[in-house]
Structure 1
Amino acid sequence: MAKTDDHAQLYVRFHAAVNMAPAEIEAWLDTDESRAVGFRRDGASESVGHASGRRIVQILRTRKADLDGGDYAHMRKVVGFVRRHLAQGPHEAHRIPGSRWRHSLMNWGHDPLKD
């Protein structure tokens, strides 16, 4: 498969996985709940997911023609994270709204309550 074909498919999968608008993600990332979840590398001031959310906003605001290999690599990471995390989470609707599971997904641009 050609790289451009792979990028085209990844672009579609990324936009299916990320169901929050850039402004929604930014507003979410400003909350205490957003900063309270996720894995932090030693010495890091923010979680991996929180940093990912900032990168997702940048990607969403970039024209498709201007996306580079690093952007596509991050898009692949986002798609994988959202898919894995959705499979793991609480599947009882009453447990989802305030859960750390949902908050973590939202850091990655996906709000499961929109599904």
Structure 2
Amino acid sequence: MIVRTFDECKNSERRVVSDNWESVRMLLKDDNMGFSFHITTIYQGTDTHIHYQNHLESVYCMSGEGEIEVVNGKTYPIKPGTLYILDKHDEHFLRAYEGADMVMACVFNPPITGAEVHDENGVYPLVD
């Protein structure tokens, strides 16, 4: 059994900070569960280009509001209770509106190792 708290993960190397977001990676590849689980905060007023070419992701909004714009597609509002699933490696822009950060629960398959950050194309590398 694995038991961890958000606070202990946040105060460890499992917390990764970028210009537009921070992610507390609570479950990682080396936990051998077949997926990773993160609590990610998207900073208010930011616009982040993301394109997970190597991973599938499900994201549940716990707080804050914003939108996801699929490249060459539609824009969807995000608010608490919204789940979006990037089941086709969808290239997108994630925006958090002014007023409050968006806090999201995220699941990645395959799992990430924990040190990944987006490259210049919004991609996480696939790490063996």
TM-score (norm 1): 0.29
Select the structure that is richer in strand. 2
The structure whose RCO (Cα within 8 Å, separation 6+) is larger is 1
TM-score norm. by structure 2 comes to 0.28
Higher helix share: 1
